[in-house]
């Protein structure tokens, strides 16, 4: 042991790359858009990220699933090009576009070679401004979406998450799946999709980052060309969703050998002064990797599961601490009991100095390692803007983590971790587990 | 023959002393330690990160009969301590250094990796070298970990109708070759695995002469060589290591069919696989042609034949696709899937699939589509430089599958040179029903009184 510990300690003492070694420029375009740029000339391509805040939560009240279906049609033809023509054009340029929508954002990721930059952006512009929503394409993609919804209704992971959302966010967009229901999706018209696009893809809620073979002077005019003709303003944003689930266990009967459990409680938001202590706390309780308290107790000491995770979900309209675990039906009652005990322990006793040190060392050491590729960096940069962080965040983030004290974490654990309010949604055929809701 | 070419490749690598920077990609260097451990270094100095991977040329397909899952169970137990490290300490040290670590088991290999700040490379090597030879496992921890593996199987397989179907299909495809046995193991065999089984497997297969070290990131070949010689160099070659020789498939002479019914199926589909050749060292053209065949029939976007006709023009399928995994030590499979629209039966979907195959054989390659695929391949070589970890994994899987670094580097040029005739010939050779398994995944017909749900 001695030799090993010496090595580990030695390693800890060596200096970490304390901060992410990237140079972010803030670019303000002539047209008034703001983008974050990292110029990285070593590989001749650019990764461009666009985010439209609000995402699928901007669905009109009786049009659930419209933004999701609309998003699915963005790659199905634009301008003069039908779906086939669009795909051919994209392949000829060797560009890659992807379109993704979730509760809080509609995300467009584009990747193009320097040699084809203008043509690729012209093609992307036609997607943003003149998507065709051809009737045949609508029916085809609608059929795929309906099939996915049907699959989700038979998948224990999805059933569990959907039931949790229904309990926690009644009356809010978060309370229902953004894919919509079979009924709502079946009823959507082409006009609904056109309206859905104008609710979310607008100038007032776009966030932009670019990383790669491009300079600030080139990027500005390109972005103006790309985005200036979008509508000025989209749909009003929803109200906060709160977190309304009463603590307890809900069981959803489903014939499958292993129960899937989603568990959670109200969380702590990024704007909250306790965010960093809470973030570190949940890292200790259920962070990724093999060394969280939950992994230790539920997997390593008891062999109850392959994986258990819990963490902070700081979302646009709610903040949660959310976890997931699955265990064979006849042992899931034990898993639920152990999670509750861990919640109680941390609420009462906080964490140890060793745990805090370990978490801080891990989080500060791992952070700079994330910045290792144009696509990854572009993703991080656009996310930081949406989260409301300043351009210096990569340089200061580790200091904020290091500033958290044991007292901070203990206080936040006592105030924010509430075992009685912990919500469990169990999907499967759990044995010996009483539903309390 | 594959075994022979694999040995020849290994012999060649051993014979080459000193770094041989490869002209095709100057960021990749390979060399071999005196104990037989091969080393590949992939340089990318954009971020202060290193990915450290040790790959063993042993996987689920090398397990003794009746011990399915032992390769994967051993992979789990490799985190349970050594003579000088406690259970869990490996991952704890990685984490305390800001890194992440994990491991993976496949039919042809088992791998362990960490992603850390580049200046922590030596520590990772020290710990990985330690568990290459000094594994010690507490019996109680081993028993608990078997439960974890059973829960992993529950999560990945038992809880998923699609995964159970896949397991049945693959078992049907391989009569004799161990690829027919699931990597995680059959449930009843996992339940019987012991710590002793794992240690025996470890003693037979782990050692520097059965391993490839891949280091990717902000490192130089000289640094890596110095550290590797320090940490891995002193480990003697394991005399137990033998070249892999697995039972091979007899010629398939009859089509095979399976139907799997599961009430959890939302979307029934038909999936067919054909036994197909894989990439062999120095002989990759047929596999390259099959790759294009897969792209042209059912690759990305709406333009491949099956997608264009079935999804777009006819609207008979919700989804249609083709897939082919070219990197494999022994014979691989080429697959087609059709998910019909709800108004159509699986028999009709299968007929649609057959119709698309016949049409391709009749019409041949769409030259413009092939040109676009080649353009994309060229662009991918640029985009690929951005993805450090996937580059490292690509070299790893190739070296585990009988290929060499040169084969990996020749691959893009080979793909550019493939002709329509080669693709058409590959299709003609492939599509023989007698060498196929056709599977239906569907719901059980519900008794009348239980129709509602």
Q: What pTM did the predictor assign? A: 0.91
Known active-site residue B450: no
CB A36 within 8 A of CB A104: no
Predicted confidence at residue B88, as pLDDT, reads: 92
Contact at CB, A154 and B264, closer than 8 angstroms: yes
Total residues belonging to chain A: 437
Which of B30, B38, B43, B75 is an active site residue?
B75
What string of H, E and C letters represents the secondary structure of chain B? CHHHHHHHHHHHHHHCCCCCCCCCCCCEEEEECCCCCEEEEEECCCCCEEEEEEEECCCHHHCCCCCCCHHHHHHHHCCCCECCCCCCHHHHHHHHCCCEEEEEECCCCEEEEEEEEHHHHHHHHHHHHHHHHCECCCHHHHHHHHHHHHHHHHHHHHCCHHHHHHHHHHHHHCCCCHHHCCCCCCHHHHCCCCHHHHHHHHHHHCCHHHEEEEEEECCCHHHHHHHHHHHCCCCCCCCCCCCCCCCCCCCCCCCEEEEEECCCCCCCEEEEEEEECCCECCECHHHHHHHHHHHHHHCCCCCCHHHHHHHHHCCCEEEEEEEECCCCCCCEEEEEEEEECCCCCHHHHHHHHHHHHHHHHHHCCCHHHHHHHHHHHHHHHHHHHHCHHHHHHHHHHHHHCCCCHHHHHHHHHHHHHCCHHHHHHHHHHHCCHHHEEEEEEECCCCCHHHCCC
CB B42 within 8 A of CB B27: yes
Nearest-angstrom CA–CA distance, A52 and A204: 9
Contact at CB, B145 and A305, closer than 8 angstroms: no
Q: Which of B105, B119, B302, B371 to mutate to test the interface with A (most CBs of A within 10 A)?
A: B302
Chain A partners of B120 at a C-beta cutoff of 8 Å?
11
Chain A partners of B185 at a C-beta cutoff of 8 Å?
none
CA distances from A209 to A31, A38, A206 (A): 16, 8, 10
For residue A234, give how far its alpha carbon lies from the nearest alpha carbon of chain B (Å).
30
Contact at CB, B95 and A260, closer than 8 angstroms: no
Q: How many CB pairs under 8 A join A and B?
A: 205
Chain B partners of A16 at a C-beta cutoff of 8 Å?
98, 117
pLDDT tens string for chain A (437 positions)? 233 333 333 333 333 444 456 899 999 999 999 999 999 999 999 999 999 999 999 999 999 999 999 999 999 999 999 999 999 999 999 999 999 999 999 999 999 999 999 999 999 999 999 999 999 999 999 999 999 999 999 999 999 999 999 999 999 999 999 999 999 999 999 999 999 999 999 999 999 999 999 999 999 999 999 999 999 999 999 999 999 899 999 999 999 999 999 999 999 999 999 999 999 999 999 997 778 999 999 999 999 999 999 999 999 999 999 999 999 999 999 999 999 999 999 999 999 999 999 999 999 999 988 998 999 999 999 999 999 999 999 999 999 999 999 999 999 999 999 999 999 999 999 999 988 86
Contact at CB, A43 and B385, closer than 8 angstroms: yes
The ipTM is 0.89
Sequence-separated (6 or more) residues with CB below 8 Å from residue A98: A107, A108, A109, A110
For residue A333, give how far its alpha carbon lies from the nearest alpha carbon of chain B (Å).
15
- The candidate with the shortest Cα–Cα distance to A188, out of A101, A56, A62, is A62
Q: Please tell me if residue B343 touches chain A, with a CB cutoff of 8 Å.
A: no
Contact at CB, A84 and B302, closer than 8 angstroms: yes
- The candidate with the shortest Cα–Cα distance to A25, out of A226, A206, A219, is A219
What string of H, E and C letters represents the secondary structure of A59-83? CCCCCCCHHHHHHHCCCCEECCEEH
Q: pLDDT tens across B333-379, in order?
A: 999 999 999 999 999 999 999 999 999 999 999 999 999 999 999 99
Mean predicted lDDT score pLDDT of chain B = 92
Predicted confidence at residue A22, as pLDDT, reads: 82
Chain A partners of B387 at a C-beta cutoff of 8 Å?
373, 375
Chain A partners of B155 at a C-beta cutoff of 8 Å?
258, 305-307, 326
């Amino acid at each position: 042991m001695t030799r090993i510990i010496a090595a580990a300690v030695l390693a800890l003492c060596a200096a970490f790359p304390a901060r992410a070694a990237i140079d972010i420029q803030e670019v303000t375009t002539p047209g008034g858009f703001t983008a974050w740029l990292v110029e990285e000339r070593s590989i001749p391509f650019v990764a461009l990220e666009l985010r439209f805040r609000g995402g699928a939560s901007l669905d009109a009240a009786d049009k659930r699933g419209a933004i999701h279906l609309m998003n699915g049609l963005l790659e199905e033809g634009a301008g003069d090009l039908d779906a086939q023509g669009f795909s051919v054009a994209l392949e000829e340029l060797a560009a890659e576009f992807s379109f993704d929508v979730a509760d809080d954002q509609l995300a467009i990721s584009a990747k193009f070679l320097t040699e084809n930059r203008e043509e690729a952006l012209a093609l992307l512009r036609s997607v943003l401004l003149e998507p065709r929503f051809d009737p045949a394409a609508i029916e085809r993609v609608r059929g795929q979406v309906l099939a996915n919804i049907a699959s989700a209704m038979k998948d224990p992971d999805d059933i569990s998450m959907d039931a949790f959302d229904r309990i926690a966010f009644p009356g809010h967009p978060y309370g229902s799946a953004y894919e919509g229901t079979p009924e709502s999706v079946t009823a959507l018209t082409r006009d609904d999709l056109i309206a859905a696009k104008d609710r979310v893809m607008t100038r007032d809620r776009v966030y932009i980052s670019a990383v790669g073979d491009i300079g600030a002077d080139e990027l500005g005019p390109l972005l103006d060309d790309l985005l200036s003709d979008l509508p000025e303003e989209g749909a009003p944003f929803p109200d906060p969703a709160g977190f309304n689930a009463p603590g307890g266990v809900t069981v959803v009967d489903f014939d499958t050998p292993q129960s899937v459990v989603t568990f959670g409680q109200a969380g702590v938001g990024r704007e909250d002064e306790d965010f960093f202590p809470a973030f570190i706390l949940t890292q200790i309780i259920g962070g990724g990797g093999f060394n969280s308290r939950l992994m230790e107790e539920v997997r390593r000491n008891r062999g109850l599961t392959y994986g258990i995770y819990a963490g902070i979900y700081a979302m646009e309209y709610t903040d949660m601490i959310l976890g997931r675990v699955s265990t064979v039906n006849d042992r899931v009652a034990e898993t639920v009991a152990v999670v509750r005990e861990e919640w109680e322990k941390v609420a009462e006793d906080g964490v140890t100095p060793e745990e805090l040190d370990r978490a801080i060392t891990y989080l500060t050491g791992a952070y700079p390692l994330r910045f290792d590729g144009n696509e990854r960096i572009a993703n991080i940069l656009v996310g930081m803007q949406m989260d409301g962080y300043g351009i210096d965040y990569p340089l200061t983030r580790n200091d904020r983590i290091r500033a958290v004290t044991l007292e901070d974490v203990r206080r936040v654990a006592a105030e924010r971790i509430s075992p009685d309010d912990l919500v469990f949604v169990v999907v499967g055929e759990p044995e010996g587990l009483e539903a309390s809701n | 023959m594959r075994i022979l070419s694999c040995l020849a490749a290994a012999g060649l690598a051993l014979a080459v002393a000193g770094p041989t920077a490869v002209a095709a990609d100057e960021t990749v260097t390979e060399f071999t330690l005196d104990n037989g451990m091969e080393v590949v270094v992939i340089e990318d100095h954009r971020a202060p990160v290193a990915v450290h991977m040790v790959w063993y040329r042993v996987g689920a397909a090398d397990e003794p009969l009746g011990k399915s899952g032992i390769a994967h169970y051993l992979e789990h137990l490799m985190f349970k301590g050594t003579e000088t490290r406690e259970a869990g300490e490996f991952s704890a040290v990685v984490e305390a250094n800001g890194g992440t670590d994990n491991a993976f088991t496949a039919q042809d290999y088992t791998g362990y990796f960490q992603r850390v700040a580049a200046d922590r490379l030596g520590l990772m090597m020290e710990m990985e070298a330690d568990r290459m030879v000094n594994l010690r496992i507490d019996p109680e921890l081993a028993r608990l970990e078997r439960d974890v593996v059973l829960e992993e199987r529950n999560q990945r397989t038992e809880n998923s109708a699609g995964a159970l179907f896949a397991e049945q299909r693959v078992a049907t495809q391989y009569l004799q070759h161990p690829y027919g046995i699931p990597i995680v193991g059959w449930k009843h065999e996992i339940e019987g695995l012991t710590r002793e089984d794992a240690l025996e497997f470890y003693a037979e297969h782990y050692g520097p002469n059965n391993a490839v070290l891949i280091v990717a990131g902000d490192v130089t070949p000289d640094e890596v060589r110095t550290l590797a010689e320090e940490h891995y160099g002193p480990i003697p070659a394991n005399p137990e290591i033998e070249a892999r020789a697995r039972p091979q498939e007899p010629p398939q002479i009859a089509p095979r069919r399976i139907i799997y019914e599961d009430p959890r199926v939302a979307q029934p589909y038909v999936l067919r696989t054909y036994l197909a050749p894989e990439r062999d060292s120095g002989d990759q053209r047929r596999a390259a042609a099959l790759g294009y065949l897969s792209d042209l029939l059912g690759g990305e976007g709406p333009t491949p034949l099956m997608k264009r006709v079935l999804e777009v023009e006819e609207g008979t399928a919700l989804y249609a696709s083709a897939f082919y995994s070219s990197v494999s030590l022994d014979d691989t499979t080429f697959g087609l899937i059709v998910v019909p629209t709800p108004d159509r039966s699986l028999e009709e979907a299968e007929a649609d699939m057959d119709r698309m195959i016949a049409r391709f054989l009749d019409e041949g390659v769409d030259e413009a589509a092939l040109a676009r695929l080649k353009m994309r391949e060229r662009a991918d070589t640029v985009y690929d430089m951005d993805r450090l970890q996937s580059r490292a994994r690509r070299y790893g899987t190739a070296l585990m599958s009988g290929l060499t670094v040169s084969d990996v580097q020749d691959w893009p040029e080979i793909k550019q040179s493939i002709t329509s005739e080669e693709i058409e010939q590959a299709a003609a050779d492939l599509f023989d029903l007698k060498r196929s398994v056709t599977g239906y995944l569907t719901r059980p017909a519900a008794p009348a009184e239980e129709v509602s749900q």
